[in-house]
Structure 1
Amino acid sequence: MTKRTETVRVPDGEFSLHVWLPEKGAGPGILLIQEIFGVGDYMAAVAEDLTALGYVVAAPDMFWRLERDWSVEHSETMMAEAGDKVSRFDWAKGPDDLEAALDRLRGLPEVSGGVGALGFCFGGTLAFLLAARASAKLDAVVSFYGSRVSDSLDRAGDVTVPIQFHFGGSDPFIPRDEVAEVERAFAGRDNVEFHVQEDGGHAFHNRTAPMFHQPEPAARAWALTEDFLARRLPVS
Protein backbone atom coordinates (compact mmCIF):
# COMPACT_ATOMS: atom_id res chain seq x y z
CA MET A 1 0.00 0.00 0.00
CA THR A 2 1.48 3.30 -1.14
CA LYS A 3 0.75 6.43 0.89
CA ARG A 4 1.24 10.12 0.18
CA THR A 5 -0.16 13.45 1.33
CA GLU A 6 -1.97 15.86 -0.99
CA THR A 7 -3.11 19.41 -0.21
CA VAL A 8 -6.69 20.69 -0.35
CA ARG A 9 -7.03 24.44 -0.83
CA VAL A 10 -10.09 26.36 0.34
CA PRO A 11 -10.73 30.14 0.31
CA ASP A 12 -9.26 30.71 3.79
CA GLY A 13 -6.44 28.16 3.93
CA GLU A 14 -5.33 24.65 3.08
CA PHE A 15 -5.19 21.25 4.75
CA SER A 16 -3.79 17.76 4.36
CA LEU A 17 -5.45 14.94 2.46
CA HIS A 18 -3.81 11.61 3.29
CA VAL A 19 -3.99 9.28 0.28
CA TRP A 20 -3.49 5.51 0.14
CA LEU A 21 -3.32 3.59 -3.15
CA PRO A 22 -4.29 -0.02 -3.81
CA GLU A 23 -1.75 -2.49 -5.13
CA LYS A 24 -2.80 -2.02 -8.74
CA GLY A 25 -2.42 1.76 -8.34
CA ALA A 26 -5.91 2.88 -9.32
CA GLY A 27 -9.56 2.28 -8.56
CA PRO A 28 -12.76 3.91 -7.32
CA GLY A 29 -12.25 6.49 -4.60
CA ILE A 30 -13.41 6.47 -0.99
CA LEU A 31 -13.27 9.57 1.20
CA LEU A 32 -12.45 8.23 4.66
CA ILE A 33 -13.70 10.59 7.39
CA GLN A 34 -11.91 10.50 10.71
CA GLU A 35 -13.28 9.87 14.18
CA ILE A 36 -12.53 12.19 17.09
CA PHE A 37 -8.93 11.01 17.57
CA GLY A 38 -7.73 12.37 14.22
CA VAL A 39 -6.20 10.70 11.17
CA GLY A 40 -4.07 8.21 13.08
CA ASP A 41 -3.46 4.47 13.35
CA TYR A 42 -7.11 3.51 13.13
CA MET A 43 -7.75 5.44 9.94
CA ALA A 44 -4.58 3.92 8.47
CA ALA A 45 -5.87 0.45 9.40
CA VAL A 46 -9.23 1.09 7.73
CA ALA A 47 -7.44 2.51 4.69
CA GLU A 48 -5.41 -0.71 4.49
CA ASP A 49 -8.62 -2.76 4.51
CA LEU A 50 -10.14 -0.62 1.77
CA THR A 51 -7.07 -0.54 -0.47
CA ALA A 52 -6.96 -4.34 -0.19
CA LEU A 53 -10.41 -4.29 -1.79
CA GLY A 54 -9.07 -2.13 -4.62
CA TYR A 55 -10.09 1.39 -3.57
CA VAL A 56 -8.11 4.62 -3.61
CA VAL A 57 -8.60 6.05 -0.12
CA ALA A 58 -8.23 9.66 1.02
CA ALA A 59 -8.64 10.97 4.59
CA PRO A 60 -8.86 14.75 5.11
CA ASP A 61 -7.50 16.46 8.22
CA MET A 62 -10.82 17.75 9.55
CA PHE A 63 -9.37 19.48 12.62
CA TRP A 64 -6.92 21.63 10.67
CA ARG A 65 -8.62 24.87 11.72
CA LEU A 66 -7.88 23.95 15.35
CA GLU A 67 -4.52 22.16 15.03
CA ARG A 68 -2.94 20.82 11.86
CA ASP A 69 -2.46 17.07 11.43
CA TRP A 70 -3.44 16.39 15.03
CA SER A 71 -3.96 12.78 16.12
CA VAL A 72 -3.70 10.99 19.46
CA GLU A 73 -3.86 7.46 20.83
CA HIS A 74 -7.18 5.93 21.81
CA SER A 75 -7.19 6.12 25.57
CA GLU A 76 -9.23 7.45 28.47
CA THR A 77 -6.54 10.10 28.96
CA MET A 78 -6.95 11.44 25.44
CA MET A 79 -10.78 11.33 25.44
CA ALA A 80 -11.01 14.79 27.00
CA GLU A 81 -8.61 16.31 24.49
CA ALA A 82 -10.43 14.70 21.57
CA GLY A 83 -13.77 15.81 22.98
CA ASP A 84 -12.46 19.36 23.21
CA LYS A 85 -11.56 19.29 19.52
CA VAL A 86 -15.07 18.23 18.61
CA SER A 87 -16.61 20.87 20.89
CA ARG A 88 -14.66 23.57 19.03
CA PHE A 89 -15.18 22.15 15.53
CA ASP A 90 -16.75 24.61 13.11
CA TRP A 91 -19.88 22.80 11.91
CA ALA A 92 -20.53 25.59 9.38
CA LYS A 93 -17.15 25.50 7.64
CA GLY A 94 -16.30 21.84 8.25
CA PRO A 95 -18.77 20.44 5.71
CA ASP A 96 -17.40 22.92 3.13
CA ASP A 97 -13.91 21.55 3.81
CA LEU A 98 -15.21 18.02 3.44
CA GLU A 99 -16.81 18.72 0.08
CA ALA A 100 -13.57 20.36 -1.08
CA ALA A 101 -11.72 17.20 -0.05
CA LEU A 102 -14.25 15.13 -2.00
CA ASP A 103 -13.64 17.24 -5.10
CA ARG A 104 -9.87 16.81 -4.65
CA LEU A 105 -10.28 13.05 -4.38
CA ARG A 106 -12.46 12.94 -7.50
CA GLY A 107 -9.72 14.78 -9.38
CA LEU A 108 -6.85 12.45 -8.45
CA PRO A 109 -5.40 10.73 -11.53
CA GLU A 110 -5.56 7.32 -9.83
CA VAL A 111 -9.33 7.52 -9.23
CA SER A 112 -11.28 5.64 -11.87
CA GLY A 113 -14.93 4.73 -11.57
CA GLY A 114 -17.15 6.07 -8.84
CA VAL A 115 -16.46 7.81 -5.55
CA GLY A 116 -17.90 7.14 -2.11
CA ALA A 117 -17.50 8.23 1.51
CA LEU A 118 -17.16 6.32 4.77
CA GLY A 119 -17.03 7.87 8.24
CA PHE A 120 -16.84 6.75 11.85
CA CYS A 121 -18.32 8.46 14.93
CA PHE A 122 -17.67 12.20 14.36
CA GLY A 123 -16.95 11.19 10.78
CA GLY A 124 -20.16 9.17 10.61
CA THR A 125 -22.12 12.36 11.18
CA LEU A 126 -20.03 14.20 8.59
CA ALA A 127 -20.56 11.38 6.08
CA PHE A 128 -24.32 11.81 6.50
CA LEU A 129 -24.09 15.60 6.13
CA LEU A 130 -21.95 15.16 3.00
CA ALA A 131 -24.56 12.81 1.57
CA ALA A 132 -27.22 15.45 2.25
CA ARG A 133 -25.34 18.24 0.47
CA ALA A 134 -23.45 16.42 -2.29
CA SER A 135 -25.41 13.31 -3.25
CA ALA A 136 -24.87 14.05 -6.94
CA LYS A 137 -21.10 13.74 -6.46
CA LEU A 138 -21.27 10.40 -4.65
CA ASP A 139 -22.04 6.81 -5.55
CA ALA A 140 -22.18 5.34 -2.05
CA VAL A 141 -21.93 6.49 1.58
CA VAL A 142 -21.38 4.49 4.77
CA SER A 143 -22.00 6.09 8.17
CA PHE A 144 -20.84 4.31 11.32
CA TYR A 145 -22.47 5.45 14.58
CA GLY A 146 -22.72 9.14 13.79
CA SER A 147 -23.58 10.72 17.10
CA ARG A 148 -25.22 13.82 15.60
CA VAL A 149 -27.21 12.22 12.79
CA SER A 150 -30.40 12.31 14.84
CA ASP A 151 -29.94 16.06 15.32
CA SER A 152 -29.98 16.69 11.56
CA LEU A 153 -32.86 14.55 10.35
CA ASP A 154 -34.38 17.59 8.66
CA ARG A 155 -31.73 16.85 5.98
CA ALA A 156 -32.89 13.26 5.43
CA GLY A 157 -34.88 14.19 2.34
CA ASP A 158 -31.75 15.59 0.68
CA VAL A 159 -29.99 12.22 0.77
CA THR A 160 -30.49 10.57 -2.61
CA VAL A 161 -27.19 8.65 -2.81
CA PRO A 162 -27.22 5.00 -1.64
CA ILE A 163 -26.32 5.13 2.07
CA GLN A 164 -25.73 2.47 4.70
CA PHE A 165 -26.05 3.28 8.42
CA HIS A 166 -24.44 1.30 11.24
CA PHE A 167 -25.18 1.72 14.94
CA GLY A 168 -24.53 -0.16 18.15
CA GLY A 169 -27.61 -1.11 20.10
CA SER A 170 -25.68 -0.82 23.37
CA ASP A 171 -23.91 2.46 22.60
CA PRO A 172 -23.75 4.65 25.74
CA PHE A 173 -23.18 7.78 23.63
CA ILE A 174 -26.09 7.26 21.21
CA PRO A 175 -29.24 6.16 23.06
CA ARG A 176 -31.26 3.40 21.43
CA ASP A 177 -34.26 5.71 21.02
CA GLU A 178 -32.12 8.11 18.95
CA VAL A 179 -31.08 5.21 16.74
CA ALA A 180 -34.76 4.37 16.28
CA GLU A 181 -35.44 7.99 15.29
CA VAL A 182 -32.90 7.73 12.48
CA GLU A 183 -34.36 4.43 11.35
CA ARG A 184 -37.88 5.87 11.25
CA ALA A 185 -36.70 8.92 9.28
CA PHE A 186 -35.39 6.69 6.50
CA ALA A 187 -37.96 3.91 6.64
CA GLY A 188 -39.10 2.65 3.24
CA ARG A 189 -36.30 4.36 1.31
CA ASP A 190 -34.84 2.15 -1.44
CA ASN A 191 -31.48 3.95 -1.26
CA VAL A 192 -31.03 3.39 2.49
CA GLU A 193 -29.76 0.38 4.42
CA PHE A 194 -29.89 0.36 8.22
CA HIS A 195 -28.04 -2.04 10.51
CA VAL A 196 -27.90 -2.19 14.30
CA GLN A 197 -25.51 -4.52 16.09
CA GLU A 198 -27.52 -4.87 19.28
CA ASP A 199 -24.50 -6.09 21.26
CA GLY A 200 -22.30 -3.28 19.92
CA GLY A 201 -21.15 -0.36 22.04
CA HIS A 202 -19.66 2.85 20.74
CA ALA A 203 -16.78 2.59 18.23
CA PHE A 204 -17.10 -1.20 18.27
CA HIS A 205 -15.31 -1.44 14.93
CA ASN A 206 -12.11 0.24 16.15
CA ARG A 207 -9.63 -2.62 16.34
CA THR A 208 -6.77 -0.32 17.37
CA ALA A 209 -8.56 0.65 20.60
CA PRO A 210 -9.00 -2.13 23.19
CA MET A 211 -11.27 0.19 25.17
CA PHE A 212 -13.80 0.14 22.30
CA HIS A 213 -13.23 -2.85 20.02
CA GLN A 214 -15.75 -5.67 19.94
CA PRO A 215 -14.62 -8.26 17.37
CA GLU A 216 -17.95 -9.97 16.69
CA PRO A 217 -20.16 -6.94 15.96
CA ALA A 218 -17.19 -5.37 14.15
CA ALA A 219 -16.86 -8.38 11.84
CA ARG A 220 -20.59 -8.47 11.11
CA ALA A 221 -20.78 -4.76 10.35
CA TRP A 222 -17.67 -4.78 8.17
CA ALA A 223 -18.98 -7.74 6.14
CA LEU A 224 -22.14 -5.72 5.48
CA THR A 225 -20.00 -2.72 4.51
CA GLU A 226 -17.93 -4.72 2.06
CA ASP A 227 -21.07 -6.15 0.48
CA PHE A 228 -22.66 -2.70 0.17
CA LEU A 229 -19.55 -1.21 -1.42
CA ALA A 230 -19.24 -4.16 -3.82
CA ARG A 231 -22.80 -3.51 -5.03
CA ARG A 232 -22.83 0.29 -5.00
CA LEU A 233 -19.20 1.16 -5.70
CA PRO A 234 -17.78 -1.85 -7.55
CA VAL A 235 -14.10 -2.31 -8.30
CA SER A 236 -13.55 -3.42 -11.88
Structure 2
Amino acid sequence: MGAYVTITGPDGEFQAYVATPNRPNGRALVVIQEIFGVNKVMRDLADVYAEQGYLAVVPDLFWRIQPGIDITDQTPEEWQKAFDYFGKFNVDTGIVDIQATIDYLQKTHQKVGAVGYCLGGLLAYLTATRTSITASVSYYGVGIQDRLAEVGPQTKPLLLHVASEDSFVNKDAQAAMKTGLSGQDHIHLYVYDGLDHAFARIGGQHYDAAGAALAHQRTIAFFDEHLS
Protein backbone atom coordinates (compact mmCIF):
# COMPACT_ATOMS: atom_id res chain seq x y z
CA MET A 1 0.00 0.00 0.00
CA GLY A 2 1.48 3.30 -1.09
CA ALA A 3 0.84 6.95 -0.35
CA TYR A 4 0.59 10.19 -2.27
CA VAL A 5 3.06 13.06 -2.34
CA THR A 6 2.99 16.49 -3.93
CA ILE A 7 5.60 17.25 -6.58
CA THR A 8 6.31 20.82 -7.63
CA GLY A 9 7.16 21.39 -11.28
CA PRO A 10 7.73 24.53 -13.36
CA ASP A 11 4.00 24.83 -14.08
CA GLY A 12 2.57 23.97 -10.67
CA GLU A 13 1.98 21.20 -8.18
CA PHE A 14 0.67 17.72 -8.93
CA GLN A 15 0.14 14.49 -7.02
CA ALA A 16 2.08 11.27 -7.40
CA TYR A 17 1.52 7.80 -6.01
CA VAL A 18 4.57 6.49 -4.16
CA ALA A 19 5.25 2.82 -3.41
CA THR A 20 8.01 2.48 -0.83
CA PRO A 21 9.99 -0.76 -0.62
CA ASN A 22 10.41 -2.65 2.64
CA ARG A 23 13.86 -3.72 1.50
CA PRO A 24 15.26 -0.91 -0.66
CA ASN A 25 17.70 -1.81 -3.41
CA GLY A 26 18.92 1.80 -3.66
CA ARG A 27 17.15 2.41 -6.96
CA ALA A 28 14.17 4.56 -7.93
CA LEU A 29 11.70 4.41 -10.81
CA VAL A 30 9.27 6.80 -12.45
CA VAL A 31 6.32 4.62 -13.50
CA ILE A 32 4.54 6.37 -16.37
CA GLN A 33 0.77 6.02 -16.73
CA GLU A 34 -1.45 4.76 -19.52
CA ILE A 35 -4.44 6.79 -20.77
CA PHE A 36 -6.54 5.72 -17.77
CA GLY A 37 -4.80 7.93 -15.21
CA VAL A 38 -3.10 6.79 -12.03
CA ASN A 39 -5.49 3.88 -11.66
CA LYS A 40 -5.26 0.58 -9.82
CA VAL A 41 -3.28 -1.01 -12.67
CA MET A 42 -0.58 1.64 -12.37
CA ARG A 43 -0.59 1.61 -8.57
CA ASP A 44 -0.30 -2.18 -8.57
CA LEU A 45 2.63 -1.99 -10.98
CA ALA A 46 4.37 0.47 -8.69
CA ASP A 47 3.72 -1.86 -5.77
CA VAL A 48 5.28 -4.76 -7.69
CA TYR A 49 8.41 -2.73 -8.37
CA ALA A 50 8.51 -1.72 -4.70
CA GLU A 51 8.33 -5.38 -3.70
CA GLN A 52 11.49 -5.83 -5.75
CA GLY A 53 13.25 -3.03 -3.90
CA TYR A 54 12.53 0.04 -6.01
CA LEU A 55 11.11 3.31 -4.76
CA ALA A 56 8.40 3.64 -7.42
CA VAL A 57 6.59 6.91 -8.17
CA VAL A 58 3.61 7.32 -10.52
CA PRO A 59 3.06 11.02 -11.34
CA ASP A 60 -0.42 12.29 -12.25
CA LEU A 61 0.36 13.51 -15.77
CA PHE A 62 -3.28 14.40 -16.53
CA TRP A 63 -3.45 16.97 -13.72
CA ARG A 64 -3.74 19.89 -16.14
CA ILE A 65 -6.86 18.29 -17.64
CA GLN A 66 -8.34 17.04 -14.38
CA PRO A 67 -6.43 16.00 -11.25
CA GLY A 68 -6.91 12.48 -9.94
CA ILE A 69 -8.26 10.71 -13.03
CA ASP A 70 -8.68 7.04 -12.12
CA ILE A 71 -10.67 4.87 -14.56
CA THR A 72 -10.43 1.33 -15.93
CA ASP A 73 -10.39 -0.31 -19.36
CA GLN A 74 -13.47 -2.40 -18.57
CA THR A 75 -16.32 -0.39 -20.15
CA PRO A 76 -16.86 1.43 -23.49
CA GLU A 77 -17.72 4.58 -21.56
CA GLU A 78 -14.37 4.54 -19.78
CA TRP A 79 -12.53 3.92 -23.02
CA GLN A 80 -14.26 6.96 -24.50
CA LYS A 81 -13.21 9.06 -21.52
CA ALA A 82 -9.65 7.76 -21.78
CA PHE A 83 -9.36 8.67 -25.45
CA ASP A 84 -10.83 12.08 -24.68
CA TYR A 85 -8.16 12.67 -22.03
CA PHE A 86 -5.52 11.41 -24.45
CA GLY A 87 -6.72 13.87 -27.09
CA LYS A 88 -6.39 16.76 -24.65
CA PHE A 89 -3.01 15.67 -23.30
CA ASN A 90 0.13 17.61 -24.26
CA VAL A 91 3.12 15.32 -24.59
CA ASP A 92 5.64 18.13 -24.17
CA THR A 93 4.24 19.31 -20.83
CA GLY A 94 4.01 15.67 -19.78
CA ILE A 95 7.77 15.38 -20.23
CA VAL A 96 8.20 18.53 -18.14
CA ASP A 97 6.29 16.82 -15.32
CA ILE A 98 8.33 13.65 -15.72
CA GLN A 99 11.53 15.67 -15.39
CA ALA A 100 10.10 17.26 -12.23
CA THR A 101 9.46 13.74 -10.89
CA ILE A 102 13.00 12.72 -11.78
CA ASP A 103 14.28 15.80 -9.94
CA TYR A 104 12.20 14.79 -6.92
CA LEU A 105 13.73 11.31 -6.91
CA GLN A 106 17.26 12.50 -7.58
CA LYS A 107 17.24 14.30 -4.25
CA THR A 108 17.64 10.88 -2.64
CA HIS A 109 18.75 8.58 -5.48
CA GLN A 110 21.71 9.12 -7.76
CA LYS A 111 20.34 6.91 -10.53
CA VAL A 112 16.69 6.92 -11.56
CA GLY A 113 14.97 4.76 -14.15
CA ALA A 114 11.66 5.16 -15.97
CA VAL A 115 9.17 2.60 -17.21
CA GLY A 116 6.02 3.48 -19.15
CA TYR A 117 3.07 1.70 -20.71
CA CYS A 118 0.96 2.60 -23.80
CA LEU A 119 0.92 6.42 -23.74
CA GLY A 120 3.53 6.01 -21.04
CA GLY A 121 5.54 3.90 -23.48
CA LEU A 122 5.83 6.88 -25.81
CA LEU A 123 6.65 9.12 -22.86
CA ALA A 124 9.29 6.65 -21.65
CA TYR A 125 10.91 6.86 -25.09
CA LEU A 126 10.88 10.67 -24.95
CA THR A 127 12.15 10.51 -21.38
CA ALA A 128 15.23 8.75 -22.74
CA THR A 129 15.74 11.42 -25.41
CA ARG A 130 14.89 14.58 -23.44
CA THR A 131 15.50 14.20 -19.70
CA SER A 132 18.19 13.44 -17.13
CA ILE A 133 16.91 9.88 -16.59
CA THR A 134 19.55 7.17 -16.23
CA ALA A 135 17.73 4.49 -18.26
CA SER A 136 14.22 4.02 -19.61
CA VAL A 137 11.89 1.17 -20.62
CA SER A 138 8.98 1.50 -23.03
CA TYR A 139 6.09 -0.97 -23.17
CA TYR A 140 4.12 -0.87 -26.47
CA GLY A 141 4.60 2.86 -26.94
CA VAL A 142 2.23 4.48 -29.42
CA GLY A 143 3.55 7.01 -31.94
CA ILE A 144 7.28 6.41 -31.49
CA GLN A 145 7.70 5.96 -35.25
CA ASP A 146 6.81 9.65 -35.74
CA ARG A 147 9.55 10.81 -33.34
CA LEU A 148 12.57 8.79 -34.41
CA ALA A 149 14.50 11.97 -35.23
CA GLU A 150 14.68 12.66 -31.48
CA VAL A 151 17.27 9.92 -31.01
CA GLY A 152 20.78 11.30 -30.77
CA PRO A 153 23.97 11.33 -28.69
CA GLN A 154 21.99 12.56 -25.69
CA THR A 155 19.67 9.54 -25.67
CA LYS A 156 19.94 7.46 -22.51
CA PRO A 157 19.92 3.64 -22.50
CA LEU A 158 16.52 2.53 -23.75
CA LEU A 159 14.65 -0.78 -23.88
CA LEU A 160 11.49 -1.18 -25.96
CA HIS A 161 8.89 -3.96 -25.73
CA VAL A 162 6.83 -4.20 -28.95
CA ALA A 163 3.84 -6.49 -29.60
CA SER A 164 3.90 -7.89 -33.13
CA GLU A 165 0.10 -7.70 -33.46
CA ASP A 166 -0.31 -4.33 -31.75
CA SER A 167 -3.58 -2.82 -32.95
CA PHE A 168 -2.25 0.69 -32.20
CA VAL A 169 1.23 0.21 -33.68
CA ASN A 170 0.88 -1.36 -37.12
CA LYS A 171 3.48 -3.32 -39.09
CA ASP A 172 4.69 -0.24 -40.97
CA ALA A 173 5.22 1.61 -37.70
CA GLN A 174 7.09 -1.35 -36.26
CA ALA A 175 9.30 -1.57 -39.36
CA ALA A 176 10.06 2.14 -39.13
CA MET A 177 11.04 1.75 -35.49
CA LYS A 178 13.33 -1.19 -36.22
CA THR A 179 15.04 0.71 -39.03
CA GLY A 180 15.22 4.05 -37.27
CA LEU A 181 16.60 2.65 -34.04
CA SER A 182 19.01 0.12 -35.54
CA GLY A 183 22.71 0.62 -35.03
CA GLN A 184 22.19 2.25 -31.62
CA ASP A 185 24.14 0.14 -29.14
CA HIS A 186 22.33 1.68 -26.16
CA ILE A 187 18.84 0.93 -27.56
CA HIS A 188 17.35 -2.57 -27.49
CA LEU A 189 14.02 -3.57 -29.03
CA TYR A 190 12.24 -6.85 -28.34
CA VAL A 191 9.27 -8.03 -30.41
CA TYR A 192 6.70 -10.36 -28.81
CA ASP A 193 5.29 -12.51 -31.57
CA GLY A 194 1.54 -13.04 -31.62
CA LEU A 195 0.82 -10.57 -28.82
CA ASP A 196 -1.35 -7.45 -28.98
CA HIS A 197 -1.24 -4.05 -27.35
CA ALA A 198 -1.20 -3.96 -23.53
CA PHE A 199 -0.15 -7.60 -23.21
CA ALA A 200 1.26 -6.76 -19.76
CA ARG A 201 -1.91 -5.11 -18.41
CA ILE A 202 -3.34 -7.55 -15.87
CA GLY A 203 -7.09 -7.83 -16.35
CA GLY A 204 -6.92 -6.40 -19.86
CA GLN A 205 -8.38 -8.04 -22.95
CA HIS A 206 -4.96 -8.84 -24.41
CA TYR A 207 -3.11 -9.75 -21.22
CA ASP A 208 -0.62 -12.57 -21.76
CA ALA A 209 0.97 -13.92 -18.60
CA ALA A 210 3.97 -15.50 -20.31
CA GLY A 211 4.72 -12.43 -22.41
CA ALA A 212 4.30 -10.11 -19.44
CA ALA A 213 6.63 -12.24 -17.32
CA LEU A 214 9.31 -12.33 -20.03
CA ALA A 215 9.10 -8.57 -20.58
CA HIS A 216 9.31 -7.93 -16.83
CA GLN A 217 12.33 -10.22 -16.54
CA ARG A 218 14.06 -8.29 -19.32
CA THR A 219 13.09 -4.97 -17.73
CA ILE A 220 14.57 -5.89 -14.37
CA ALA A 221 17.75 -7.18 -16.02
CA PHE A 222 18.03 -3.91 -17.93
CA PHE A 223 17.67 -1.86 -14.76
CA ASP A 224 20.10 -4.14 -12.95
CA GLU A 225 22.66 -3.30 -15.64
CA HIS A 226 22.09 0.45 -15.86
CA LEU A 227 20.99 1.51 -12.37
CA SER A 228 23.63 -0.37 -10.39
TM-score of the superposed pair, with normalisation by structure 2:
0.94
CA distance in 1, matches of 2:142, 2:100: 23
> In the alignment, does 2:217 pair up with 1:220?
no
CA spacing shift, 1:38–1:169, aligned 2, 3 Å: same
> In the alignment, does 2:190 pair up with 1:188?
no
In the other structure, the counterpart of 1:91 is 91
User: 1:119 aligned to 107, 116, 119, which one?
Assistant: 116
Quote how far apart the aligned CAs of 1:183 are. Answer: 1.5
Q: Deviations over 1:27-49 (max 9, x none)?
A: 21100000111111111221122
In the other structure, the counterpart of 1:165 is 160
Larger displacement relative to structure 2 (199-208 or 92-101) = 92-101
CA distance in 2, matches of 1:117, 1:202: 20
Identity percentage of aligned residues: 32
Give the partner amino acid of 1:151. Answer: D
In the other structure, the counterpart of 1:79 is 79
Quote how far apart the aligned CAs of 1:159 are. Answer: 4.8
SS of residue matched to 2:151? helix
The answer to whether the Cα contact below 8 Å between 1:169 and 1:198 also exists between their aligned partners in 2 is yes
Q: How many residues align?
A: 227
In the other structure, the counterpart of 2:202 is 207
SS of residue matched to 1:123? helix
> In the alignment, does 2:60 pair up with 1:61?
yes
CA spacing shift, 1:159–1:175, aligned 2, 3 Å: farther
Quote how far apart the aligned CAs of 1:26 are. Answer: 6.3
Quote how far apart the aligned CAs of 1:192 are. Answer: 0.8
SS of residue matched to 2:92? coil
Give the partner amino acid of 2:221. Answer: D
The answer to whether the Cα contact below 8 Å between 2:30 and 2:57 also exists between their aligned partners in 1 is yes
Quote how far apart the aligned CAs of 1:160 are. Answer: 2.6
The answer to whether the Cα contact below 8 Å between 2:91 and 2:123 also exists between their aligned partners in 1 is no
The answer to whether the Cα contact below 8 Å between 2:17 and 2:57 also exists between their aligned partners in 1 is yes
In the other structure, the counterpart of 2:142 is 147
Unaligned stretches of 5+ residues in structure 1:
none
Quote how far apart the aligned CAs of 1:12 are. Answer: 3.3
Quote how far apart the aligned CAs of 1:6 are. Answer: 1.4
> In the alignment, does 2:177 pair up with 1:178?
no
Quote how far apart the aligned CAs of 1:165 are. Answer: 0.4
